Amino acid sequence: MSDTGNNAVVWKTPQWQSLPALPGAQLRLALDVLDRPADLLAQLQREIPWEQHRLRLFGREIPAPRLSCWVGDAEAVYTYSRVRFEPRPWSPLLSALRCGIAEMAGADFNSVLCNLYRNGNDAMGWHSDDEAELGPRPVIASLSLGAPRRFRLRHKRDADARLEIELPSGSLLLMGGDTQRHYRHDLPRALRVQLPRLNLTFRQIHASA
Ligand SMILES: O=C(O)CCC(=O)C(=O)O
Ligand SMILES: [Fe+2]
């Protein structure tokens, strides 16, 4: 089988793209950071214990339009949408990814939120990753595999400050500085997309007081 079958992730030298400047955001995008992204997608799709999380919206519980799994060090407990998530342990492959991405991002990560968008009907709504346990200026590293999808950012108050980019398979997006404080982001539905996309957002959770 492939290299990734032995958990050997083969990295390429990241070629950072120039993105239009967004006031108050700190973004970096590299399009092609590893070898054989399709093999990696297949292995992660198989090995991650996918769950259907439920979201609380306007007092109702609805199934999230995607599959998810929270993976991390034992202390990296995460609460969102008022649900507490105990992390699943790192697999050798996710550990290898964490290592390489930490090096490219110049930051440490003790957890990763894995999302599987089964097709273009799956999506993620507008939000900021601004939970208290992420700290005030989190670095979030987002690795995309599979079907290319549109990713949008928009400023919370300035309607002109917005950006839309495509995240292709094997791309790495870094969001740092005050990006989460000033911006929301989403991954809209894309009804023509039939193929799955898998996204890993690496994060550093600080133990809550
Ligand atoms: O799938 C994506 O690219 C975005 C995921 C995301 O925003 C998140 O996990 O918080
Ligand atoms: Fe997010």
- Whether the model pTM is above 0.90: yes
Distance 74 CA to ligand 1 centre (A): 22
For residue 141, being part of any structural domain is answered with yes
Residue 28 is part of which domain span?
A: 3-203
pLDDT digits (tens, 9 = 90+) for 157-174: 999 999 999 999 999 999
CA–centroid distance, residue 93 to ligand 1 (Å): 20
> In the predicted model, what is the mean pLDDT of residues 24-48?
98
Region 102-109: what's the mean pLDDT?
A: 98
The pLDDT tens digits of the residues spanning 64-77 come to 999 999 999 999 99
Work out the average pLDDT over 86-107: 97
> Counting atoms of ligand 1 from 1, which one is nearest the CA of 201?
9
Kindly state whether residue 159 falls inside one of the protein's structural domains. Answer: yes
Residue 4 has pLDDT above 70, yes or no: no
**Mean pLDDT, the chain, integer:** 94
Residue nearest to atom 9 of ligand 1 (CA): 201
The model's pLDDT over 106-118, given as tens digits with 9 standing for 90+, comes to 999 999 999 999 9
Q: Percent of the chain scored above 90 by pLDDT?
A: 86
> Can you tell me the mean pLDDT for 27-55?
97
Domain CATH for 85: 2.60.120.590
How many domains, the chain?
1
Of 130, 146, 133, the C-alpha closest to 66 is: 146
Q: Which residues pair with 198 in a beta bridge?
A: 116, 145
Q: What are phi and psi of 202, to 5 degrees?
A: -85, 135
pLDDT tops 90 at residue 150 = yes
Does 107 map to a domain?
A: yes
Strands (E) in 32-155, as ranges, are: 54-57, 60-63, 67-72, 78-80, 83-85, 111-117, 124-127, 140-146, 149-155
pLDDT digits (tens, 9 = 90+) for 128-139: 999 999 999 999
